Amino acid sequence: MDSTRPVHIGRQALYDDQGRVAAYELLFRDGPGALHATSRDSAATSRVIVEAFTAFGIEELVGDKLCFVNLTREFITGDLPLPFPPGRVGLEITGDVAEDDEVTDGVAALAEQGHRLAVEGARLLRYAHFVKLDLGADPRSVKEAVQRCRRHPRIRLVAQRVETVEQLDRAQRLGFQLFQGHALSHPHLVTTRALTPSRLARMRLLTELSADDVQLDRAVEAIERDPALAVRILRGVNAAANGLKQPVSSIFQAVVLLGVPQVRQWATLMMVADFAGGDEAALTGAVVRARMCQTVAERRGGNGQAAFTAGLLSAIGALVGGPASALTEQLPLTGDVAEAVAHERGELGGVLGDVRRYLGAVTANDLGDVRRYLGAVTGNDLGDDLLAALRWTNASLAEPEPAAAGSPAAAPGG
């Protein structure tokens, strides 16, 4: 059973008046043959956000261009979190979101936080940075809307649903700055493969992060139990830094850099976005490798947290397929961790190589090779390290006992 899954996002370009790509709109797509969004609810928006930032990586998906994401009411009013800072993403308030006091207050709060907002029609103009107008609408109403928008100098006009050359010419005469529609380009489906995260690990993480007194060590342990979740947290460091790569050597350091509130937001959104489980056996094997690397490194006087991260990422690279360097280039890793994962160089690379070869021999059930290998490395403790890693992983990934009625664990989370 494959522990990865295909991930799809629709991407449609917005062009400036010189015909250059100026931005992209990201669109929900649930399969490789989907030409249109089959869902426009909060789950669809959550999946677009989560996959764009943590499966693809926002830089790989849109480069240095602005991208727009449609928001449902739940995101506008704060019922669902936006786990990225202002700057990289334009938030689009579509015309089917009913405007009321709660929505207006939510839009005002997003603008106050520094988010760039796009609205359809002439609604909410005082908060808007972009106004998207449908060129297929009545020409007189479009012209009147353009005139209203010109009273707000910061607003950039976006002509959307430009289906003909005549509509494009008319939009240019009206003074639109950005243009989007089938006359220019159709949405393009972008696909990658991503690990399927463990819902159990994410539930445990949310439990840890929802405590009044968050125990950071316990939260990091919850992340480390799920390789896919660990990769997403690491990529979240780049999202939080507005695309500026911040090197880290461990998941603990990544959590500290992100901060508990943002880690909580990512974990919450992933719970909304993910629907299918992966190959638990393969993911368990990845955690065993990571834990064994940590144990070996600490026994040799090295950095256990960095070794855990290196072991985890090397296993994930094998699960996803392709060269390990392709994975390390997408993550904000320190040089020693990246070199260990991509090339098994340095002290960490030595630990990783020893563990990988030993586990390979054990998996192949070649006891003679195991004995020969144990004699070729410093010390004969790898067998004990493997048993310790297995015990730790089995205990960590075991299903929790149901909470007794009336106990704190049984109470609904806030």
What are 275-294's pLDDT values in tens digits?
A: 334 455 666 677 788 889 98
How big is the chain, counted in residues? 414
Query: Are 90 and 58 a contacting pair, CB within 8 Å?
Result: no
pLDDT of residue 154: 92
For residue 18, report the phi and psi dihedrals to the nearest 5 degrees.
Answer: -100, 5
pLDDT digit string (tens) for 216-240?
888 888 788 777 778 878 877 766 6
pLDDT digit string (tens) for 240-253?
655 556 788 888 88
Higher pLDDT, 387 or 281: 387
What is the rounded (10 degree) CA torsion for 244, 246, 252, 258? -30
pLDDT of residue 180: 95
pLDDT for residue 334 is more than 80: yes
pLDDT of residue 168: 94
Angle, helix 382-397 to helix 346-363, in steps of 10 degrees:
80
3-state secondary structure of 365: coil
Query: Are 292 and 402 a contacting pair, CB within 8 Å?
Result: no
How far is it, in rounded angstroms, from Cα 367 to Cα 365? 6
Q: Among residues 54, 63, 119, which one has the least CA distance to residue 84?
A: 54
pLDDT digit string (tens) for 353-386?
999 888 887 766 544 444 444 444 444 577 788 8
For the residues of 224-256, what is the DSSP string, one character each? HT-HHHHHHHHHHHHHHTTT----BSSHHHHHH
pLDDT of residue 390: 78
pLDDT of residue 409: 34
pLDDT digit string (tens) for 72-126?
888 888 877 787 788 878 999 988 888 888 999 999 999 999 999 999 866 689 9
Q: Tell the residue number behind the tokens 């909470």, with chain if given.
A: 403
Instruction: Say which CATH architecture domain 4-192 belongs to.
Output: Alpha-Beta Barrel (3.20)
Q: Among residues 194, 355, 219, 353, which one has the least CA distance to residue 275?
A: 194
How far is it, in rounded angstroms, from Cα 255 to Cα 236? 9
3-state secondary structure 274-296: CCCCCCHHHHHHHHHHHHHHHHH
* Span 180-209, average pLDDT: 74
Q: Among residues 237, 239, 238, 251, which one has the least CA distance to residue 201?
A: 251
For the residues of 191-209, what is the DSSP string, one character each? EEEEEPPPHHHHHHHHHHH
For the residues of 143-200, what is the DSSP string, one character each? HHHHHHHTTSTTPEEEEE---SHHHHHHHHHHT-SEE-STTT---EEEEEEEEPPPHH
Distance of CA 228 to CAs 97, 233, 292, 381, Å? Answer: 33, 9, 18, 29
How far is it, in rounded angstroms, from Cα 313 to Cα 328? 8
Query: Are 265 and 81 a contacting pair, CB within 8 Å?
Result: yes
Sign of the dihedral through C-alpha 84, 88, 94, 98: positive
Q: Is 119 exposed, middle or buried (0-12, 13-18, 19+ CB in 10 A)?
A: buried
pLDDT for residue 193 is more than 60: yes
Q: Which residues lie below 8 Å from residue 12, measured CB to CB, with a gap of 6+?
A: 24, 25, 27, 180, 185, 186, 187, 188
pLDDT for residue 399 is more than 60: no
pLDDT digit string (tens) for 45-69?
777 877 777 677 777 788 889 999 9
Q: Among residues 294, 287, 289, 392, which one has the least CA distance to residue 348?
A: 294
pLDDT for residue 414 is more than 50: no
Q: Please state which of the four CATH numbers 3.40.50.720, 1.10.3210.10, 1.10.260.40, 3.40.50.300 is assigned to the domain occupying 197-397.
A: 1.10.3210.10
Q: Which helix (H) or strand (E) element contains residue 92?
A: strand 89-93
Domain ranges (residues) in the chain: 4-192, 197-397
Higher pLDDT, 179 or 283: 179
What is the rounded (10 degree) CA torsion for 250, 256, 261, 264? 20
pLDDT of residue 164: 93
